[in-house]
A and B are shown apart, each in its own frame.
Chain A
């Protein structure tokens, strides 16, 4: 049983970035984090220098053995000491340069990747609401966290290793060739099959770890049900069923992880095996060569050390290549985000700032269809006068929420224009637009913080007194006094310490304090009790006289209070006018109202 769900994707989704090859991905990645490239050649040179020391040891061993220990006329202590001192200098240089490499690499990569994180984070907020909704929030989070972490792992560990290893391989090969080209060839011939095998393993191991990551996702999904669905699980006594689902997911993950680990181990040890066997071959061939007089004993022994220098890079190659694959995949996902076109974009410098004040809204032949879906609004034209209070009503699915989203530019119309004070919404800078037009959605997210911090989210400079005044104006002072710590009350994660109705009150106060010229309420008081709702409505009523407010609601009390009611049915405006005119007209509104009144009567 899989707990995974198939994600909904369509053309408004996030770029997978899969069309980018490995090389292109790395290139684009470095382009996005130019800090990575800064001074990279100095780092490479230092890495080369630090590798020298490692190669120095076999060289010194060979010289010591040949010229010192086996010197004609007995061991020569002076020669040995000279070489040892030379090696000491080498060790010191190695240590110092690898210290510099570490620091340079960490500084460059952390700087580069933190700006990549920040850029991706910002871009996710710049993406349109529809694009954001095509991805699970958790998956968006991983693009700025674990995906970037895999890149930094690679750059700081794998990347360094890669540099050192290439240098080590090259230097070792050069030395080997100097000692004995034939023996060097033998070593390479032994290692070539390994390179082929490793490439094979790389694919196998890579796929195995992809499965593991998927299983981790399933497992977390299953576990989170036990946490988030705690109340439902208890109310329906389905603890055992949930436990069985979680156990299944945990076990799937366990099996995938063990399988992947086993494959990785086999891949890793194949390197160990080859290098060990190569040592045996070198001893055999080397002895034959030495017997023929082509090689000294010291040179042969140095060769054995050099083979050992070969092993580590080749062994690590598998893991580095894996890491690189992970890093490229992570990079691809981050690049995918950054390269996703923000289809509802801030005009920025090309845009205009509108002055604050009473606001006029115009819809000109607006049509809207969700990506890949049917049209939900047809040829809508209307004008909303400044300082008016408008209610938009209609059945579920009539398209009334689409109005709110077009009006606040969460979406752009498929056809036609929405204008604010005569200016196309698409030409207004976001900073100006968002300060003038604010939407209060049905489910307003609360931050895990105090009530005060949540209400001042849209107006961080507001003082507690101003917040208290706002709550008083909205008639919510009575409610505030029932809270245990007043404004300091912690609302809990996602506001879970509050009821749905209370969360709506906070969201409303938050929007209200932000002081927009146009307030758009999309079912913003649906979970609030009637007398509080009426109280809020009165407050908005009296205080929004200077501004325009548009309320979308299925509670028709809102419509009765409005200057104008717009009735939407099947994506079209079917009626407009004041409540008192519409109610007797016998149209859609009369029907809605009759049903509403019957609910209000006992």
Chain B
């Protein structure tokens, strides 16, 4: 992800105006209101100087000279000035409130669009984008894009103000107007120079701030590991390094500001002094009155600050462009899953088929050092058939592609080649939402919404409390939920933080069960519960799942034993397919996997039956030891196999 912010070059400015145009099109009314407010503000700010000059010349100076003043004259002066001030304040309120409404409306509109995309884009797209990046696209980048609308109306008002001021100056005196026409463009140019020098430095500081945050986030998430491996010092060092970089970058920002700020402040002051010097000369030659000189001098002091708004807009432009590019990349992302119009049959258990299905993940680097994204094949040419109403177990070693296969079966991802069919309907032709009406997946990693237990199970569907409790009973979760403070109405916290892993798994199971799916896919969905609880869950599922086809990813023999049919996977390929007895007899990999514990137990028993083996005091050469171990294991395996065959026959 490139976070480089370009200089406010001509191209950036052009694109920045494009972003601004887009924003105006989205929020034309509020923007207009804000500009009207800003125009009032601009005119009235200039008007203040004009009125003060006028009052000084026409009322105050003559009154002082005459040593007398009427209350009518005073009221006139005061009310004139008050009117200008009140109008000015109204202009500011309208400008800023309307600009705020426009900014936050734009933010809300684009956050909604971005999150719609997140919900719509396929899972494979999510796999390619780190979640931190997606979060910042929806939050910080949207904010960066539209922030420019905060100073923009004011800048437009300032332009009005400058025009107004220029007219005033020319009306008063050409010489003073020339000073104004030198000072304000100079101020503007210095501002541009300031933004040019400053913006890369601010960007760098911003990047480092994000890095500090990332390091802290990762480190705190890993707090338990850091603690248990005693790596606090190293983590603190890692944090210190990036924090110091941030510190230096911020000091650099301060240094730049230290150079430009006084200069930007001094220019209007110098202008005022020039006005006084030149003004006095013009007064002496009789072209000007004292009041007029003061009026222009006052104008300069009033304009000095607002003129900076032009600089603020320029400063925001590169950020807006970069923010918009990132937001736009999400909005333009395609490859959203196409849905057909077919419906899956709703007549009892579904039949599930995979026909020559392959799937590869994108990996960041192909490992060839060429920096090109490579692909890692997770599922290769898998063909399988899960008959309706049956229970099929998917068995394979860690990392053999089982979870990827379950994702393909639910059409969370589409296969690169081949097709997944439910009741002979290709999943790609099923209408949106059609698959989840029929099938339910309980994933290895449970996800909980920040909602109540009930909300997490029903997921917005119309379900009675009794139905929720019934689902919990099947998932063996009714016991612990009954003990929660508010039963099924207890909030589970962010990601279900208030629950244990086993509890979350049971709620996730209940979430699937309550939908009475025709196809239920369990991806090692009971790994965090005790064996006895798992047995009870499987028993209850068997009772309640009469009209359900079950595909279960499992290691435990008891789970596997419930299956009519077993598919054995290795490195993304189906190695064998059949009943437990068949596979045990002919598939070495399968046999090794499922009898691992039994063999181990048998070996232990055999070793125990022998004399106590001599214990080496210290490990000598580990490789040699491992060899010895393997020999022993082989010997035991032969015995274990004999035993198993005996059990089977």
Q: Which residues from B are CB-within-8-Å of A479? A: 397-399
Q: In the complex, what distance in Å separates the CA atom of A510 from the CA atom of B407?
A: 29
Given contacts A125-B235, A231-B443, contact A69 B280 (CB under 8 A): yes
Q: In the complex, what distance in Å separates the CA atom of A60 from the CA atom of B277?
A: 11
| Docked-complex contact A527 and B444, CB < 8 angstroms | yes
| Docked-complex contact A297 and B436, CB < 8 angstroms | no
Q: In the complex, what distance in Å separates the CA atom of A230 from the CA atom of B305?
A: 49
| Docked-complex contact A6 and B229, CB < 8 angstroms | no
| Docked-complex contact A138 and B217, CB < 8 angstroms | yes
Q: Which residues from A are CB-within-8-Å of B628? A: 542
- Which of B108, B273, B625 makes the CB contact (< 8 A) with A254? B108
Binary CB contact string for chain A from 221 to 234 against chain B (1 if under 8 A, 0 otherwise): 10111111111111
Question: Within residues 1 to 47 of chain A, which ones have a CB less than 8 A from any CB in chain B?
Answer: 3-6, 8
Q: Which residues from A are CB-within-8-Å of B633? A: 538
Given contacts A460-B234, A600-B597, contact A232 B447 (CB under 8 A): yes
Q: Does any Cβ of B come within 8 Å of A421's Cβ?
A: no
Question: Within residues 248 to 305 of chain B, which ones have a CB less than 8 A from any CB in chain A?
Answer: 248, 250-251, 253-255, 257-259, 261-263, 265-266, 269-270, 272-273, 276-277, 279-281, 283-284, 290, 293-294, 297-298, 301-302, 305
Chain B's closest residue to A490 (CB) is: B364
| Docked-complex contact B108 and A251, CB < 8 angstroms | yes
Q: Which residues from A are CB-within-8-Å of B515? A: 236
- Which of A216, A233, A287 makes the CB contact (< 8 A) with B60? A287
| Docked-complex contact B216 and A230, CB < 8 angstroms | no
B111-119, B383-391, B419-427: which one contacts chain A? B111-119
| Docked-complex contact A227 and B131, CB < 8 angstroms | yes
| Docked-complex contact A279 and B85, CB < 8 angstroms | yes
Chain A's closest residue to B411 (CB) is: A234
List 29 A-B pairs, Cβ < 8 Å: A61-B297, A69-B290, A74-B284, A75-B281, A76-B280, A77-B280, A77-B284, A102-B254, A102-B258, A113-B247, A121-B219, A141-B220, A219-B111, A223-B118, A230-B126, A231-B123, A253-B108, A262-B97, A265-B96, A272-B89, A273-B85, A291-B64, A297-B64, A304-B52, A312-B305, A492-B130, A529-B555, A531-B592, A557-B597
Q: Does any Cβ of B come within 8 Å of A150's Cβ?
A: no
- Chain A contact residues (Cβ within 8 angstroms of B): what range? 35 or more
- Which of A228, A301, A501 makes the CB contact (< 8 A) with B495? A228
| Docked-complex contact A288 and B89, CB < 8 angstroms | no
Binary CB contact string for chain B from 84 to 117 against chain A (1 if under 8 A, 0 otherwise): 1110110011001100110011011001100110
| Docked-complex contact A118 and B236, CB < 8 angstroms | yes
| Docked-complex contact B92 and A237, CB < 8 angstroms | no
Give the most central of B283, B515, B529, B571: most A CB within 10 Å.
B283
- Which of A88, A103, A149, A560 makes the CB contact (< 8 A) with B600? A560
A185-193, A429-437, A566-574: which one contacts chain B? A429-437
Q: Which residues from A are CB-within-8-Å of B263? A: 95
**Chain B interface helix/strand/loop/mixed:** helix
The distance from the CB of A9 to the nearest CB of chain B, in whole angstroms, is 12
Question: Within residues 180 to 223 of chain B, which ones have a CB less than 8 A from any CB in chain A?
Answer: 209, 212-213, 216-223
A166-174, A195-203, A365-373, A591-599: which one contacts chain B? A591-599
The distance from the CB of B268 to the nearest CB of chain A, in whole angstroms, is 10
Given contacts A129-B227, A488-B367, contact A227 B135 (CB under 8 A): yes
Given contacts A75-B280, A510-B229, A601-B557, contact A106 B107 (CB under 8 A): no
Q: Does any Cβ of B come within 8 Å of A375's Cβ?
A: no
Q: Which residues from A are CB-within-8-Å of B407? A: 231
Chain A's closest residue to B99 (CB) is: A261
Q: In the complex, what distance in Å separates the CA atom of A98 from the CA atom of B628?
A: 78
Q: Does any Cβ of B come within 8 Å of A65's Cβ?
A: yes
Question: Within residues 300 to 344 of chain B, which ones have a CB less than 8 A from any CB in chain A?
Answer: 301-302, 305
Q: Which 3 A-B pairs have the closest CB atoms?
A: A434-B230, A106-B254, A276-B85
- Which of A124, A144, A226, A472 makes the CB contact (< 8 A) with B119? A226
| Docked-complex contact A122 and B232, CB < 8 angstroms | yes
12 further contact pairs, Cβ within 8 A, besides A88-B270, A103-B255, A505-B398: A95-B263, A96-B262, A122-B236, A234-B410, A236-B515, A239-B433, A254-B107, A433-B230, A445-B225, A527-B527, A543-B619, A599-B559
Binary CB contact string for chain B from 130 to 159 against chain A (1 if under 8 A, 0 otherwise): 111011001100000000000000000000
Q: In the complex, what distance in Å separates the CA atom of A301 from the CA atom of B57?
A: 11
Q: In the complex, what distance in Å separates the CA atom of A237 from the CA atom of B517?
A: 13
- Which of B69, B266, B441 makes the CB contact (< 8 A) with A94? B266
**Chain A interface helix/strand/loop/mixed:** helix
Q: Does any Cβ of A come within 8 Å of B596's Cβ?
A: yes
| Docked-complex contact A531 and B283, CB < 8 angstroms | no
Q: In the complex, what distance in Å separates the CA atom of A410 from the CA atom of B232?
A: 14
Given contacts A74-B284, A125-B232, A514-B229, contact A227 B118 (CB under 8 A): yes
| Docked-complex contact A448 and B69, CB < 8 angstroms | no
Binary CB contact string for chain B from 633 to 648 against chain A (1 if under 8 A, 0 otherwise): 1000000000000010
Q: Which residues from B are CB-within-8-Å of A590? A: none
Q: In the complex, what distance in Å separates the CA atom of A507 from the CA atom of B228?
A: 12
Q: Which residues from A are CB-within-8-Å of B60? A: 283, 286-287, 290, 297, 300
| Docked-complex contact B436 and A237, CB < 8 angstroms | yes
Chain A's closest residue to B107 (CB) is: A254
Given contacts A107-B251, A141-B217, A281-B78, contact A486 B367 (CB under 8 A): yes
Q: Does any Cβ of A come within 8 Å of B467's Cβ?
A: no
| Docked-complex contact A110 and B97, CB < 8 angstroms | no
Chain A's closest residue to B305 (CB) is: A312
| Docked-complex contact A490 and B531, CB < 8 angstroms | no
Q: In the complex, what distance in Å separates the CA atom of A439 from the CA atom of B283?
A: 88
| Docked-complex contact A125 and B226, CB < 8 angstroms | yes
| Docked-complex contact B616 and A545, CB < 8 angstroms | yes
Q: In the complex, what distance in Å separates the CA atom of A458 from the CA atom of B232?
A: 11
Chain A's closest residue to B459 (CB) is: A238
Question: Within residues 592 to 649 of chain B, which ones have a CB less than 8 A from any CB in chain A?
Answer: 592-594, 596-601, 604-605, 608, 615-619, 622-623, 625-626, 628-629, 633, 647
Q: Does any Cβ of A come within 8 Å of B450's Cβ?
A: yes
| Docked-complex contact A258 and B433, CB < 8 angstroms | no
Given contacts A114-B246, A499-B403, contact A396 B529 (CB under 8 A): yes
The distance from the CB of A447 to the nearest CB of chain B, in whole angstroms, is 6
Q: Which residues from B are CB-within-8-Å of A210? A: none
| Docked-complex contact B367 and A118, CB < 8 angstroms | no
- Which of B130, B139, B376 makes the CB contact (< 8 A) with A484? B376
- Which of B93, B123, B251, B532 makes the CB contact (< 8 A) with A106? B251
| Docked-complex contact B398 and A528, CB < 8 angstroms | yes
The distance from the CB of B126 to the nearest CB of chain A, in whole angstroms, is 5
Q: In the complex, what distance in Å separates the CA atom of A60 from the CA atom of B280?
A: 13
Given contacts A458-B231, A460-B234, contact A283 B55 (CB under 8 A): yes
Q: Does any Cβ of A come within 8 Å of B498's Cβ?
A: yes
The distance from the CB of A513 to the nearest CB of chain B, in whole angstroms, is 10
Q: Does any Cβ of A come within 8 Å of B56's Cβ?
A: yes
| Docked-complex contact A276 and B243, CB < 8 angstroms | no
